Amino acid sequence: MAASNSSKLFRVGRSILGGLSNNALGASRPSSQLADMDFRSQQTRTFIQMRTSLKVVDNSGAKRVMCIQALKGKKGARLGDVIVASVKEAHVGGKVKKGDVHYAVVVRAAMPRGRCDGSEVKFDDNAVVLINKQGEPIGTRVFGPVPHELRKKKHLKILSLAEQIA
Amino acid sequence: MRLEKCWFCSSTVYPGHGIQFVRNDAKIFRFCRSKCHKNFKMKRNPRKVKWTKAYRRLHGKDMTQDSTFEFERKRNRPERYDRNVTENTLAAIKKIDKVRVDREARHHAKRMKPKKAQLQREAARELEQNISMVKAPGALQQDPSLTLPIKVKVSKPEKVDNRMEE
Same domain, A66 and A24: no
Maximum Cα–Cα distance for chain A, whole Å? 66
- Alpha carbon distances (Å) from B87 to B24, B74, B81, B99: 41, 20, 11, 19
Q: What is the DSSP letter of A150?
A: G
Is position A160 within any domain?
A: yes
Cα B101 to Cα B114: distance, rounded to the nearest angstrom: 22
pLDDT at A33 over 70: no
User: Both A130 and A102 in a single domain?
Assistant: yes
Question: Residue A22: is its pLDDT beyond 70?
Answer: no
Q: What is the pLDDT of residue A39?
A: 44
User: Which residues on chain A are in Cβ contact (under 8 Å) with B28?
Assistant: 166
**Superfamily of chain region B1-59:** Ribosomal protein L24 (2.30.170.20)
Residues of B within 8 A of A119 (CB-CB) are 13, 15-20
> Quick one: A23 and A69 in the same domain?
no
Residue of A nearest to B14 (CA): A119
| Other CB atoms within 10 A of residue A2 CB | 10
- HEC string of chain B equals CCCEECCCCCCEECCCCCEEEECCCCCEEEECCHHHHHHHHCCCCCCCCCCCHHHHHHCCCCCCCCHHHHHHCCCCCCCCCCHHHHHHHHHHHHHHHHHHHHHHHHHHHHHHCCCHHHHHHHHHHHHHHCHHHCCCHHHHHHCHHHCCCCCCCCCCCCCCCCCCCC
Contact flag B26-A166 (C-beta cutoff 8 Å): yes
Do A99 and A30 sit in the same domain of this protein? no
Which residue in the set A117, A119, A123 is minimally distant from B22, CB to CB? A123
**A145 inside 8 A of chain B by CB:** yes
Q: Are residues A80 and A145 in the same domain?
A: yes
- Please indicate, yes or no, if residue A48 is contained in any of the structural domains: no
**To the nearest 10°, the Cα dihedral for A149, A151, A157, A161?**
50
Q: Where are the domains of chain B?
A: 1-59, 63-121
Give the pairing type, strands A113-114 and A120-123.
antiparallel
| 3-state SS assignment for residue A17 | coil
pLDDT of the residue at B141? 74
Whether A67 and A139 share a structural domain: yes
ipTM of the complex: 0.72
Domain span including residue A103 = 53-165
Residues A15, A62, single domain; the answer is: no
A62: pLDDT confidence band, cut at 50, 70 and 90? very high
B29 touches chain A (CB under 8 A): no
**Residue from A57, A119, A165 to probe the interface with B (highest B Cβ count within 10 Å):** A119
Query: B110 CA to chain A: closest CA distance, Å?
Result: 40
Q: Would A27 be classed as within a structural domain?
A: yes
Kindly state whether A41 is in contact with chain B, defined as any CB-CB distance less than 8 angstroms.
no
Neighboring chain B residues of A145 at a CB cutoff of 8 Å = 22, 24, 26
Domain contains A140: yes
Which parts of chain B have pLDDT scores under 50? none
Please tell me whether residues A147 and A116 are part of one structural domain.
Answer: yes
Partner-chain contact B19 A121, CB within 8 Å: yes
This prediction has a pTM of: 0.69
Residue A42, pLDDT score: 58
Asked whether residue A47 is domain-assigned, the answer is no
Name which of B2, B7, B21 to mutate to probe chain A: the one with the most chain A Cβ atoms within 10 A of its Cβ: B21
Domains: count for chain A: 2
Under the banding of pLDDT at 50, 70 and 90, the label for residue A111 is very high
